[in-house]
């Protein structure tokens, strides 16, 4: 069995946004040479997420509104975490909701997606560099 990993670096200029990283993951899969196996894509920061869904702008706007309703950024005093001097208590909650990672099957050298599926990086405390791990195992 072969193993391959690559780190993607993200720096999202907004506090909260979603970036389609499907092409970056497909490039890593091609570089790996793996034809059959599994591909893990993992946000390496506790205020960011990786998830799979449709690449539809209205859906992404709905997510932003919904997440802000569930875990609003302000007032920052609502989160005990922010008593440490941070202002990102909401970002930790948003990450918990959207998830840490995804695993996609690799079949015949391609990501084995369902209809409309794409991989997204979700940023909830942006404006600084963060990493995404792509780990591919298989033959």
Pairing state of beta strands 37-43 and 101-107?
A: antiparallel
CATH code of the domain occupying 2-138: 2.60.120.460
Determine the pLDDT at residue 25: 99
Determine the pLDDT at residue 107: 98
Determine the pLDDT at residue 129: 97
| Nearest CA among 53, 35, 54 for reference residue 110 | 35
- How far is Cα 125 from Cα 127, in angstroms, rounded to an integer? 7
User: In 3-state terms, what secondary structure has residue 61?
Assistant: helix
Per-residue model confidence as pLDDT tens digits over 39-94: 999 999 999 999 999 999 999 999 999 999 999 999 999 999 999 999 999 999 99
Burial of residue 124 (number of CB atoms within 10 Å: 0-12, 13-18, 19+): buried
| Cβ atoms 4, 28 nearer than 8 A | yes
């Amino acid at each position: 069995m072969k193993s391959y990993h690559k780190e993607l670096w993200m720096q999202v200029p907004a506090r909260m946004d979603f970036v389609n990283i499907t092409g970056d993951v497909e490039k890593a899969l091609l570089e790996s040479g793996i034809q059959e196996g599994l591909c893990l894509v993992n946000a390496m920061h506790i205020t960011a997420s990786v998830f799979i869904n449709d690449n539809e702008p209205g859906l992404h706007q709905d997510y932003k509104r919904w997440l802000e309703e569930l875990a609003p950024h302000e007032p920052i005093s609502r989160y005990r975490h922010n008593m440490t001097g941070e202002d990102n208590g909401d970002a930790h909650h948003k990450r918990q909701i959207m998830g840490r990672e995804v695993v996609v099957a690799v079949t015949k050298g391609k990501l084995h997606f369902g209809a409309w599926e794409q991989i997204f990086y979700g940023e909830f405390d942006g404006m600084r560099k963060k990493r995404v791990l792509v780990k591919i195992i298989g033959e």
